[in-house]
Amino acid sequence: MAATPKVTPIWKEATFQSEGLDARALITRTDLKGIITFASLAYRKMTKFDKNELIGSPHSIVRHPFMPEAAFKDMWDTIERGEHWSGMVMNLRKDGKHYWVDVHVDPIDENGNVVNDPSKIAGYVAVRREPTRKEVQEAYKLYKGMRKAELLAKNTLKSWEVDLLDILDKLPDSADAFL
């Protein structure tokens, strides 16, 4: 279930290039509950959160309300079984801008080694790369429809979800409109 966003989206995209990241991987580690235990400098630069704001916070601190809940349910179901998960994610920065990543998440043991035995999982490592514009466009179209359907299927909506549903109706058909 999605929590109320801590940051208000401004519907403006930041890219790896605009942040001077040269498509470097953004890396985080979390514990079993998704609490951040490590955030690379490149990740902190992209998210605009400092180390003290990230370490000890739930990874959902960067969750954009545009993202379908089903995407994260699939991710958690997969990694908790000890399997690798990858997919496109639109994240929310501290300044309200969003950014897209192709993220790869693996379960790890207490030494940081990738494991596939659920009994040995001590946390997770996520490595992100810059997606192509084609990948962003495909994910944007898919997720826009999924998120709208999720909201419409709910019996009651929180006030921010009502606002989001209105925004989804007005969003352009192309993710490039936010660049």
Does the pLDDT of residue 112 top 90, yes or no?
yes
Q: Is residue 19 part of a domain?
A: no
pLDDT digits (tens, 9 = 90+) for 39-97: 999 999 999 999 999 999 999 999 999 999 999 999 999 999 999 999 999 999 999 99
pTM of the predicted protein model: 0.91
Count of the separate structural domains present in the chain: 1
Rg (CA), the chain: 16
- The CATH number for 73's domain is 3.30.450.20
Q: In terms of residue numbers, what domain contains 86?
A: 26-168
Does the pLDDT of residue 3 top 90, yes or no?
no
Strands 85-92 and 26-31: unpaired
Q: Is residue 10 part of a domain?
A: no
